[in-house]
Structures are given as C-alpha cells and as structure tokens.
Amino acid sequence: MCFVLLQKTKFLFYMFMMQMACEVTPSVLDPLFQYIDGNQDKYVQRLKKWVAIESESSNSQSWKEVEKMLNVTAGQIRDLGGSVELASVGSQEMPSGESIPLPPVILAEFKKDPTKPTLCVYGHVDVQPAKKEDGWVTDPYNLTEVNGNLYGRGATDNKGPVLAWLHAVETYQALKQEIPVNIKFIIEGMEEVGSDGLETLIRQRNESFFSDVDYIVISDNVWVSRKPALTYGTRGNCYFCVEVEGPKLDLHSGVFGGSVHEPMTDLIALLGSLIEPSGRILIPGINEAVASLTEEEKKLYKGIEFDLEEQKKDMGIPRFLHDSKEEILMSRWRYPSLSIHGIEGDFSDPGLKTVIPRKVIGKFSIRQVPNMDPPVVERQVKEYLQGIFDKHKSPNKLKITMIVGARPWVADLMDPQYVAGRRAIKTVFRVDPDMIREGSTIPIAQTFQEVTGKSVMMLPIGGNDDAEHSQNEKISRFNYIQGTKLFAAYFYELSQLKH
C-alpha cells in the first residue's frame, strides 16, 4: 500500500512537470513533439515487447535471448532505413573448455550527408537477472504501468533509452523532416558483464566506422534528482579477490578450533584493515592520488538539486556518512570509495554448521577517480595487504588478484556537445540541467574518448528512483516520452553548432 501511495505522489509530480514542459517549444520542434505525444502508447507497447525478451547476459545459457534482442533491435533499425552490421566480437571459453561465440555488436548507420555533423549513439540491450521472488511487485519481464511508471527489467537500463533514440529518428521520418545530423548506432548485448570484445572492436573500426564521427552520446545512467541532468564524469573500478588458503580440507571447529590458524580469521583481519567506519580508505597512496578540488568545480555542486532527507527516506537509512549535500555528492562522484562485497567459501545458509573453512575468498572494490591508475592501485593494494598478513605471522597462503581495472572518465564541460545538450534540455524541460558525475563505472565512455578521440557526452533520461539493477526497475512514462523529445531536440541543437 505504501509503495503504491509513494508512486502515486511521484506520478502527480511528473504530470505537473509534463504540463510545464509542454508550455513553450520552438516552432521548428512543435510538430515533432506533437507527434511523439500522439504516439506514446505505441512507444510503450514497443518497450513492453522489448522487456519481454529475457536478455540476461550474466548466464551464457541466456545468450540466445540476448541475440534475439539484438536481432529485434537490428530489425527495427532496418525498418527505419538504416544499414546494419552484426559485428563479431570473438568467443568466450567456458570452464568446460568449450568455446562459445559472444553475442555480436550492432554497427548501424543511416544515409549520410557530408555537410552535416555525425552523431554516434551508444546503447545496450542486455539486462541484469531478475526474478519475481527477488522482491518484485510486478513480473519483471512483463512491462506493467502503475501510476505513470513503467515497471520491468531493462525499462531504464537500457532498453527504454535505446528505443527513445530510435523513436526520435522515426519521428523525423514520419513527418518527412530531414534529420539535422548524420546518425550512427553502436549497440551491444554484453554491457552488464563487462562488454567482452567491445574495446577491441572499437579499436579495429576506429579508422572506418568511427572515422567520420564527430560526437558520441551515451544514455546509460540516470539523473541525481527529479531535475534533468547532463553527466560529465564517472568513477572507475578496481575489483579485488583476496584468497586465504589453509588446511587441505574443512575442519571441525570443536576438534581443531584454537589449535590452527583459521583462514577466515586471517581474511576478516585483512578486510577489516581496508577502511575506517568514516569511509576513509586506509591503503597508503590511494587518497593522496586524488585530483585537487578547484573552485570552479566546487561551484558546480552548490546548485545541484539533491534532497538529503528524501534520499534517506527512499533508501531506508537514518543518516549518511556526511552532513551536507556537497560532501555527499563529492564522496559519490569525485572521491574514491571502497566497498566490501562478500566472502566466497564461507557458510551462509540458514541453520548451524560448526566448520572451519579450508579456503575463503573476500571480494572488494575501489571506485577510482581522476589521477588514479589501475596498475598503481593494484600494486598499492597488494603491498598493503601483504604487509598486514605478514604481521599476523600466519602459515596460510595469501593470494590477491585484481580482476577488473576500469579507469575513470571526465569530459570537458566547454565541449560544444554540452552546449547542445543544455539547450535541448532547456527546450524540453524548461529548466537548466544539473551538471553531474556518475558514481558508478561506465568504462565505455573512457574507451570511446581514449580510442577515438571524439567528443563524448552522457545524456541520461532515467529518473533518480528508477532502481536500475534492483527490484522494481522502472522508467516513468514522463521520462520515457519527454526523453524521446529531448533526443529529437538534441539532433536539432547539435546541428546548430558551428562546425
């Protein structure tokens, strides 16, 4: 009941915002916006069909569904007149030794005009796993509308935004208006598990597919509040496994407890040495590497809309680690954080089991920020934990492995693409956007920037309460439809820049 009432309150707010957003629009965009409003039910039904495809990439047994989703996407692009290549990105060797082809990547483009700038849109159509019994109020693979919110796995991450881009293209075509920019798409099906093979493909096609691209835009994140935003940075991620191995088999704690060095005790000591209760990372060199905060950057945080009390209520927590909006946002976006994720090999089932595990593996990650480099972080972590372990004088074996090393990304806010983004948001939503960073890691942004050298921007349309990766993922009808208008307006604003 509380869930429904909360969503109804937010629905009323969104309806108010939709009225405000429709009050004034440039005449050149009026017909486009009217067409989008008139076809929103069709767009919702199309999203329903996409959500119904269980394209979970975390399990190779579901890759057929991922490929089905990619083929549906490719078919829709072809229906719009685009040419599509389903590019191979190699294969993955399974634990059994079998080699399985990875789902392909869509490389698509529409008819080109050499006098126009070229925009490349990135998106993905794979999703995180979801089950009704995980705590979903609705069936995660049956898009369900409740009080203006469209619930379903992939609704906001990232099927809804991908469709919104395609609908923006479709709108121009339906009204027989020439699209103001050249359009390309790169759409993958393995983003949720690390985008295997994608970076290699981008490097291979840098001198061909990306050679005439001027701008790259990504819509794979969300706003920080109910206010529209442009994203100019993401944190990186170094993910570690710390393995402590002792006896050759599990031991009975009643027989051997108190007489052996237990791997779990060693591991708990190691994990407990990583971070203070305040959130401060204890590994030497990590905090010292962080880029200095400039006055210009500091000013960006003051105007950002972010309600601490509402956030605490939505999350169900009594307080944050910090007291001010600025401190909270900076700790999420421009300072590193360390999170302990779990222990493999322990006893975590219900009931009692008095066992001493022979081997345990702790898992933690460090979110990186500018001036931090994964190889340096790896060395710092290994040296620090080895030093802690040596002090314990344990005969057990220690192994530390960094399995992910993704770098942070920061864009230039003076980039012309951000000018076009601001103007488009102002046109559709009647407000200036918040300029935000993203606390999580979206490696593709850094890859595009580093490999292609092109302008990269994140243009999100998801709401701050969309619960991507979580139970009850959704996108509001307001964000979905106004987001489609935003993308159509963005095409126009991008074409107005001096080239």
- Give catalytic residues, as residue numbers: 126, 191
The strand order across the sheet containing 397-406 reads: 337-344, 359-368, 236-245, 397-406
Can you tell me the distance from the alpha carbon of 428 to that of 484, in angstroms, rounded to the nearest whole number? 10
Cα dist from 179 to 25, 80, 176, 420, whole Å: 18, 12, 9, 16
- Secondary structure of residue 319 in the 3-state scheme: coil
CB within 8 Å of 444: residues ≥ 6 apart? 122, 191, 195, 198, 218, 220
Between CA 196 and CA 4 the distance in angstroms is: 39
CA-nearest of 431, 495, 408, 425 to 460 is 425
Q: Strand 359-368 and strand 236-245: pairing?
A: antiparallel
Is residue 460 a contact partner of residue 165, using CB atoms and an 8 Å limit? no
Q: What CA–CA distance (Å, rounded) separates 366 from 410?
A: 17
Which residue, 81, 69, 80, is CA-closest to 106?
69
- Report d(CA 162, CA 168) in Å as an integer: 10
In three-state secondary structure terms, 403 is strand
Token digits for 116?
């126009």
In Å, how far are 148, 217, 483 from 12, measured between CA atoms? 9, 31, 18
CB-facing half-sphere around the CA of 372: CA atoms within 13 A: 32
Q: How far apart are CA 123 and CA 85, in angstroms?
A: 15
User: Tokens in use for 444?
Assistant: 């593709």
Count of C-beta atoms within a 10 Å radius of residue 351: 5
86 vs 108: CA distance, rounded Å: 9
Q: Quote the tokens at residue 195.
A: 């985008």
Closest listed residue to residue 231, CA positions, set 22, 408, 365, 16:
408
User: Is residue 154 within 8 Å of 142, Cβ to Cβ?
Assistant: no
Helix (H, G, I), strand (E, B) or coil at 477: helix
C-alpha to C-alpha distance for 120 and 451, rounded to whole angstroms:
14
